[in-house]
Amino acid sequence: MTNPRVKQLFEAAPAILPSLLQCDFGNLEREVRRLEDDGCQGLHLDVMDGVFVPNISYGMPIVDAIRKLTDLPLDVHLMIQDPGGYAQAFSDAGADLLTFHVEAVDEIAPVIDNVRSLNMGTGLVLNPGTAIDAVTPFLDQIDVVLVMSVDAGFGGQAFNPVAIDKLKALRAIKPDLILEIDGGVNLGTIGSCREAGADLFVVGSAIFRSSDYAAALDRLRAEVQRHDPHSS
């Protein structure tokens, strides 16, 4: 992997990635600047197509707009059918790390090869009901596994502790793999995610429902540090 922003993100881990789906899109530049000023090390973008998941969010134009606003690494989570068919377009729009669902494709390996050929970080995503066996054959070909603690595309779900079991199992299988967690990550759950081996934490409501993003991020970072298995 030679993408410098992906290297930057991985070297910053453990890192909190604000999920921009919940930001104020009427003031997108202001939101990005606030997060930059608050020391964020990357941004998470959720792309939904209304087919693979029942909601529609945004696509390449928003990724492109955010890319023009910041040099922060952009972690793009594709919740879409045929992710391989759109990999080039998201690369052109400025994505640095592209993750796609194993449930969305019949053949995983060709999509991995496609994404890697575009010099993006490559990741596989697991919904709560999908066993880690779906990704273990590919761990040497990818950079990240994104473990969902909620079903992709649905809001308001409770954190499913099966995600903790998956993080622990994946960490045991491949200790140097970057592990990401998404869904219901907040002050009450982020510590156990770090203890289980998560490196990247996608956080939405716990940041954007606060009037003070910096304070919210500081509290989350403190929890990560407090539960860091590598901390003395």
Which string of DSSP letters, residue by residue, matches 128-141?
A: TTS-GGGTGGGTTT
227 is in an annotated binding site: no
Nearest to 38 by CA among 194, 192, 220: 220
Task: Report how far residue 109's alpha carbon sits from residue 132's, in angstroms, rounded to the nearest whole number.
Answer: 16
50 is in an annotated binding site: no
Which string of DSSP letters, residue by residue, matches 193-210?
A: HHHHT--EEEESHHHHTS
46 is in an annotated binding site: yes
182 is known as an active-site residue: yes
Q: How many CB atoms lie within 10 A of CB 168?
A: 15
Among the listed residues 49, 75, 182, 199, the single catalytic one is 182
10 is in an annotated binding site: no
77 is in an annotated binding site: yes
Strand ranges in the chain using DSSP code E only, listed in sequence order: 15-18, 43-48, 74-79, 97-101, 121-126, 144-148, 178-182, 200-203
230 is in an annotated binding site: no
184 is in an annotated binding site: yes
Burial 136-146 (b: 16+ CB within 10 A, else e): eeebeebbbbb
100 is in an annotated binding site: no
205 is in an annotated binding site: yes
> In the structure encoding, which two tokens stand for residue 162, read together?
């099966």
- The total number of residues shown for the chain amounts to 232
Among the listed residues 46, 49, 96, 143, the single catalytic one is 46
Binding region for substrate: 19, 77, 153-156, 182-184, 204-205
Catalytic sites, residue numbers: 46, 182
**Annotated binding residues:** 19, 44, 46, 77, 153-156, 182-184, 204-205
Q: Which residues participate in the annotated binding site for a divalent metal cation?
A: 44, 46, 77, 182
